[in-house]
Structure 1
Amino acid sequence: MHSYARLASIGLAAAALVAATTSIADAADPVKYVNLGDSYSAGSGVLPLSSGINPLCAQSTKNWAHDVAATKGYQLTDVSCGGAQTKDFYAGQYPGMAPQLDAVAADTDVVTLTMGGNDNNTFISAILACGSAGIATAGQGNPCTKLYGDTFTKAINEKTYPALVKGLQAIKAKAPAAKVVISGYPWITPAKGGCFPQLPIASGDVPYLRNLQATLNSAVSRAAGATGSTYVDLSAASAGHDACQAPGVRWVEPLLFTTQFVPVHPNALGEQGMANAALAQAGL
């Protein structure tokens, strides 16, 4: 009986040693987390800005990736940059900048991003075009819908979607074991009505822009599904937090009377909301 007791004691001691060793290894080898993507991923417009990053990227220390990393204790490498397109995965966005994919390695554990909104200048072109048309009609009618029809949605489905699939496949090729999480974009406009002139979109064009954004988010979601990536759906989470809501409620700033230096982008509350959605939906 004594020999069995000694063996049991030795076994328990060995188990404790293994557990302690594993704990030490885990502490010494944190989750390697890379954040890629565009201005919604970078938190462009939210202060303070990250140091050591090209200032043209306007990358914030309060973007959703920093919020996720702080919550989970992950080791973050953030190369997100305002204005980024899928082409910037493969080539430097600005002189002296490395391609975003250079930050992803075989031992990367988690990758997050938002991407696609700048391809074909979707957001920029649509907001400026519809804003100009809305100002010309003093916020009445649906001039943007009449002028542009399905121009923007066709570009998303025919060009942005395949570019997203290619980009996500490239991420997975570099980090086969990583969890790749791509977020949709939070609502910019309400479902109807609008808030002219803060968001100078004609009332009849508000559903048009809402549908355009839904089309973009659908393309992101489909690309995630096609590549085995995880999609973060912000449709429900960001409802009622669009750019027409009051400060402290809205996640996205309007074009005029904004509280930050980059309009029509998420504020700190929006970036935190994106982080919370990612944590809840993606199993990070």
Structure 2
Amino acid sequence: MTTGVRRWLLAASALAATVGFASPAAAAPSQPLEYVNLGDSFSAGSGVFPVAATQVAKCMQSEQNFSHRIAQQLGYRLTDVSCGGAKTQDFYAPQFDGTRAQLDALTPTTELVTLMIGGNNNNTFAGAMAACIGAMVSNPVAQTPCQAQHGAKLAEPIETQTYPALVKALSDIHDRSPQARIFIAGYPWLLPASGSCYPQMPVAAGDVPYLRALQAKLNDTVRRAAKETGATFVDMSQVSEGRDGCKPVGERWIEPMLFATQPVPVHPNAEGERAIAAEMLKAIG
């Protein structure tokens, strides 16, 4: 290297330092994106092993739920406070000893929020299944004993109570984390559009469409609440068609009430959580 070239390189290096340029090796390492997951047992992956050690055992939060999969794939820093049995009210107060109000996990610097919530409000899912199982037991020869007994009563609280609760919860997430992108998923189908798989799902065949319509009502309520508050709705209905709890092992994403392969029935199995993660990732982009 000639003396002139050497002097030119030294001068160029000095100029770069003066104007603030730095080599890639000297650049400060970027911080992982701050990611918070909220919600209920579908969000927690309750029933899918192994159980996460970072949440109390009562929540049955899985290390393989969709948020853990998203964080692992994208390299995000995850705070997961989802908990089995959660309602929107548990966003504002501790659900169990050792938990905190879920919204307390949010900060002004949170950049991504995912959640599933609403199915436990007004005991919608568990209450409807119990009501329809009871109706079939009390009138085993009827075609639609649950619909005949309850009519529109099971769906009414979804509009009058769950919808405003969802709007408030999503609005409060925005307020606490104004920079965050918010993604709320609908629930994958628990039952087929028609038919029956008694005794795995012990409800009358005629009440299967009745329960399916109830879930469709809830999912549409989640969608409308997301639209109202500027959150992104992740629709699971199309991709989960044919993956309900009446399908055999290997095909289903939802475990049935009886003969389930995990301790929490009528919930997503590992494949179901993987599918929710895949749809969430598509939406996140």
Aligned to 1:198: 200
Once the two structures are superposed, residues 222-264 of structure 1 have per-residue CA deviations (whole angstroms, 9 ceiling, x without a partner) of 0100111011000111111000001111000000000000000
Q: Return the match for 2:184 from 182, 185, 193.
A: 182
CA contact (8 A) 1:114 1:183 kept: yes
1:95, distance to aligned residue in structure 2 (A):
2.7
Larger displacement relative to structure 2 (9-18 or 49-58): 9-18
Question: Hey, what's the Cα distance between the residues in 1 that align with 2:111 and 2:204?
Answer: 45
> Which secondary structure does the structure 1 equivalent of 2:183 belong to?
strand
Question: Do residues 25 (structure 1) and 29 (structure 2) align?
Answer: yes
2:173 partner amino acid: I
In the aligned structure 1, how far is the partner of 2:253 from the partner of 2:209? 19
Change (3 A) 1:21 1:103: farther
Q: What is the deviation of 1:20?
A: 4.8
* Paired residue total: 279
Letter matched to residue 29 of structure 2: A
Tell me which residue corresponds to 1:71.
Answer: 73
Residue in structure 1 matched with residue 249 of structure 2 by the alignment: 247
Aligned to 1:141: 143
Q: Is the 8 A contact 2:35 2:79 kept in 1?
A: yes
Larger deviation, residues 266-275 vs 133-142 = 133-142
The Cα shift of 1:280 comes to 1.1
Which residue is equivalent to 2:99?
97
- The 2-side partners of 1:178 and 1:266 are apart by 27
Give the TM-score taking structure 1 as reference length.
0.92
The change in CA–CA distance for 1:19 and 1:256 in structure 2 (over 3 A counts) is same
Give distance in 2, aligned partners of 1:98 and 1:169.
19
Question: What do residues 117-173 of structure 1 show as CA deviations (whole Å, max 9, x unaligned)?
Answer: 000000010011112222344475011111111112111011000000000011110
SS at match of 2:22: helix
Distance in 1 between residues matched to 2:213 and 2:184, nearest whole Å: 20
Secondary structure, in 3 states, of the residue corresponding to 2:79? strand
* Equivalent AA in structure 2 for residue 118 of structure 1: N
Equivalent AA in structure 1 for residue 64 of structure 2: K
- The answer to whether the Cα contact below 8 Å between 1:139 and 1:203 also exists between their aligned partners in 2 is no
Note the C-alpha offset of 1:15: 9.0
What is the RMSD computed on CA atoms of the aligned residues?
Answer: 2.3
For the structure 1 residues 211 and 20, does the alpha-carbon distance in structure 2 shift closer, same or farther, using more than 3 Å as the test? farther
Distance 1:188 1:8 in 2: 69
1:120 maps to what in 2? 122
- The SS at the match of 1:77 is strand
Structure 1 CA distance for aligned equivalents of residues 65 and 92 of structure 2: 23
Cα deviation for residue 53 of structure 1 reads 1.6
Give 1:16 deviation, angstroms. 7.1
Task: Please list the CA deviations of residues 55-76 of structure 1 after superposition, one character each: whole Å capped at 9, or x if unmatched.
Answer: 1111010101011111111111
**Is the deviation greater in 226-235 or in 129-138?**
129-138
Q: Deviations over 1:158-217 (max 9, x none)?
A: 100000000001111010000111000000000000211100111000101111000000
Supply the distance in 1 between the matched residues of 2:178 and 2:24 (Cα, whole angstroms): 28
Counterpart amino acid of residue 25 in structure 1: P
- Identity among equivalent positions (%) equals 49
Task: Tell me what 1:107 maps to.
Answer: 109
Distance 1:126 1:242 in 2: 17
| Residues 211/92 of structure 1: CA separation in 2 closer, same or farther (3 Å cut) | same
Mapped to 1, the partners of 2:152 and 2:23 lie a distance apart of 61
Q: How does 1:190-229 map to 2 (within 5 A)?
A: 190-229=192-231
The DSSP-based 3-state class of the residue aligned with 2:196 is coil
Given the superposition, is the C-alpha separation of residues 204 and 172 from structure 1 closer, same or farther in structure 2, using an over 3 Å criterion?
same
Change (3 A) 1:48 1:139: farther
Cα distance in 2 for partners of 1:170, 1:139 equals 48
1:129 aligned to 128, 131, 142, which one?
131
Over 3 Å counting, the alpha-carbon distance change for 1:18 and 1:150 in structure 2 is farther
Structure 2: unaligned runs, 5 residues or longer: none
TM-score (norm 2): 0.92
Distance in 1 of aligned mates of 2:29 and 2:224: 38
* Runs (5+) with no aligned partner, structure 1: none
